[in-house]
Chain A
């Protein structure tokens, strides 16, 4: 559905150049929910703006739904943009229009008759559960409600792609979850391709199937969300997956043997520690854990402090190594 080939975007100011995006190649399949994650300044907003050419890449080609956008005239591009919807962190609603008229806006642009536009807009407001706010103005709505109006507006032109630029970053956790669920529901019902730009790993793990990690404008890692979560390959990936730094915890430990367990999608982690105590009679310390549940499976890492007694420690290690879906690794440079 979306093909980015060797996209580079360089901003040149007086004498200095900023390489916002460096040679990114990315293919996003139809109907997929794809995450692009990175810290602020990583170039993700610029990259998503390259998809609908709000930013024209310095080099590279953008193809959406089989049409190479970078080769189109302004007029043809405008026609194509009607099928690529976008929602924003700051919602960007028209403040002087009612919610209903905001949703009507893209239909007006497309020349749809007024009554037809209003009928369609009302359906969409019902879809986002805001039909009762049709006559309200954006200023009267909460952040989550504004974003839902923005989603209804984005869907008005029956787009094939929905670009979300930090769409939940200005929202509280509850509204964030509600918005993500709404996006997921729309994706399932309409098969719309969704691209989600975020700096929050939680957003990606909540709804994305695949993810790309952007660091200083380069795409350093890409793959299925489970794979990236269980085993990030790059520094940028590890920093995003373990923002509090499971590694950092080791520096606070006394001199005992420490192992790091990586959960690759088995059952949840607590029973493991309990069964270790019951089956082997070994008590371990949980020194730190950064784990997540994705679809009921455990991902993440845990640091265990093994008993001082070498025999007990060895028994525990053997037991742990025997577990499915758990990678065990001894941490040697834990004191510092």
Chain B
């Protein structure tokens, strides 16, 4: 216990730690924002294909195409993140020239999160009121117009919520990535905390991650509610 208190005091006394934590917060935030944005766009496209291409969708696609799409998404979703990351790191090497660091972790995060987001968004899009889609069809909307002008705008609040959930999940994945060469608060917790038997550093890094999650969730919930015109 005494050791823990000493370590804890050291965090505030030693500028090295302050620097490490601030850097960690920045790296985590930055990599999560970039990875979530790209993964969300990919996931959104996949989700639209899943919903629109369904046999009851507004533009049914050939069923073999849909089957392949579903199987690929399911496989990517069922591989544990850390293992998937090891598989995808060569891709980082190819694109970014490195497999170590904050930026190198972004491609694996995207590959891991996009299928998950696809399912999340698929669920939201499927909840678009059938009647509204039917009305749009009756007005002569093309499938593209139905997606772009009806489904996506009508689902806006749910999409914001999905984005929030995706952001938080990727934040968690990013922390795990710290264990195998990624940057951010996860790395801080592992390298300076776990590996050096410094419980205080681990604890502070974890608390910082929790705070980031709380902030993200609050902003997301607020924006989703404010954008929902059904609540007034």
Contacts and interface: CB of A to CB of B under 8 A. Distances in A.
Contact of B141 (A85, A98, A109): A109
Given A97-B153, A139-B229, A140-B232, A92 B142 contact: no
Contact of A86 (B138, B145, B156): B138
A96 B135 contact: no
Interface residues of B, number: 25
B55 to A, nearest CB: 13
Contacts of B150: 94
B129 interface: yes
B132 A92 contact: yes
Interface string B156-184: 11000000000000000000000000000
Given A92-B129, A94-B153, A54 B137 contact: yes
A54 B145 contact: no
A291 interface: no
B134 A106 contact: no
A139 B150 CA distance: 17
B132 A93 contact: yes
B13 interface: no
Contacts of A84: 138
Given A78-B141, A81-B140, A86-B138, A139 B153 contact: no
A54 B232 contact: no
A78 B140 contact: yes
A80 B227 CA distance: 35
Interface string A147-183: 0000000000100000100000000000000000000
Contacts of B134: 54, 88, 92
A54 B140 CA distance: 10
A64 to B, nearest CB: 13
A105 interface: yes
Interface string B213-232: 00000000000000111111
Nearest to A90: B131
Contacts of B141: 78, 109
A116 interface: no
A86 B135 contact: yes
Interface string A283-308: 00000000000000000000000000
Contact-residue size bin, chain A (C-beta under 8 Å from the other chain): 20 to 34
B149 A108 contact: yes
A79 interface: yes
B190 to A, nearest CB: 44
Contacts, number: 75
Interface in B112-163: 129, 131-132, 134-142, 145, 149-150, 153-154, 156-157
A80 B157 CA distance: 33
A105 B139 contact: yes
B131 A88 contact: yes
A95 B154 contact: yes
A210 interface: no
A97 B131 CA distance: 16
A137 interface: yes
Contacts of A22: none
A95 B129 CA distance: 10
Interface in A41-96: 52, 54, 78-82, 84-86, 88, 90, 92-96
Interface string A119-142: 000000000000000000111100
Contacts of A139: 229-232
A52 B153 contact: no
B139 A82 contact: yes
Contacts of B135: 86, 88, 92
B81 to A, nearest CB: 34
7 contacts: A81-B138, A82-B140, A92-B129, A92-B134, A109-B145, A137-B229, A137-B232
Q: Give the 3 A-B CB pairs with smallest separation, nearest first.
A: A81-B140, A92-B135, A92-B131
